Amino acid sequence: MRTTAALIVLGLALAPRAAAQQTQPARPVILSPTEGATVASPVTVTVKPADPGSPAMAGMGPGAHLHLIVDSPLPAAGSMVPMDARHIHMLHNETTTTLSLPPGRHSLQLIEGTMGHIIEPDAPHSDLITFEVK
């Protein structure tokens, strides 16, 4: 009986920690490269999307997806995300992509867009990261 009670208490104590480790962030995150890193080209970019159930994603609708912005500012609310080398559309929920970048300083940022590639007001977005390609 005491063993069962101890296991229940231990399980209750560990449950919030396990849940926290499995939850997605409220906004998208660039996992690699990291801020200030020095990397070689081609650069593998790894991202984590925002939790689809987070308040930040409310109103994004089905088909919302990430856009990886390379060496450019985020598109303005209400605008369509261009389809070019500086605006990578991650249409199929990809969590990695590879970029061929020249040596020098570069920046990356993620932003959620609608199925129609429109940026909603208050669209979830990552922090801007800068890194060096050697």
How crowded is the C-beta side of 6, counted as CA atoms within 13 Å?
A: 3
Query: For residue 33, which of 121, 113, 125, 98 has the smallest C-alpha distance?
Result: 98
pLDDT, one tens digit per residue, over 27-71 is 999 999 999 999 999 999 999 998 887 877 877 777 899 999 999
The C-alpha atoms of residue 36 and residue 100 are separated, in whole angstroms, by 18
Task: Reduce the DSSP state of residue 50 to 3 states and report it.
Answer: coil
Determine contact, residues 108/46, Cβ cutoff 8 Å. Answer: no
Question: Under 8 Å CB-to-CB from 36, ≥6 apart: which residues?
Answer: 130, 131, 132
pLDDT, one tens digit per residue, over 75-96 is 999 999 999 999 999 999 899 9
pLDDT score of 53 = 79
Bond from prior residue into 33 cis (ω within 30 degrees of 0): yes
pLDDT score of 56 = 75
Q: Is the pTM of this model over 0.95?
A: no
pLDDT, one tens digit per residue, over 66-76 is 999 999 999 99
